Amino acid sequence: MIVDYAGLVPIAQQSRKPIFDLEQADGIGAGQIQAVARCRDNFTRIGTRLPERIGIEHPQPLLGPAPAVAAWLMRSARDL
């Protein structure tokens, strides 16, 4: 089932963050915190099950310096 996160999309776009990474500092209200948590759970579940269902090996999580590179890229994207 695809869930409608329409209330969170404008905030995510303005914050330049994925919906599942939004925080109160980004402007979400108290009622939206649970929606963000559900979104994170849904995307995690999809990311885990999809590779299995289509018959490909599940990619390994990023380890080592890769998260630092990803953080740098996110900061650079915000400056655009």
**Helix, strand, or coil (residue 16):** coil
Query: Full-prediction pTM beyond 0.85?
Result: no
Contact 8, 39 (CB under 8 A): yes
Instruction: Decide: 58 and 48 in contact? Cβ < 8 Å.
Output: yes
Tokens 């963000």 -> residue:
36
Kindly tell me if the per-residue pLDDT of 52 is higher than 90.
Answer: no
Across residues 30-56, what is the average pLDDT?
86
Q: What is the pLDDT of residue 60?
A: 63
pLDDT of 44 > 70? The answer is: yes
What percent of the chain lies above the pLDDT cut of 90?
19
Report the mean per-residue pLDDT for the chain: 78
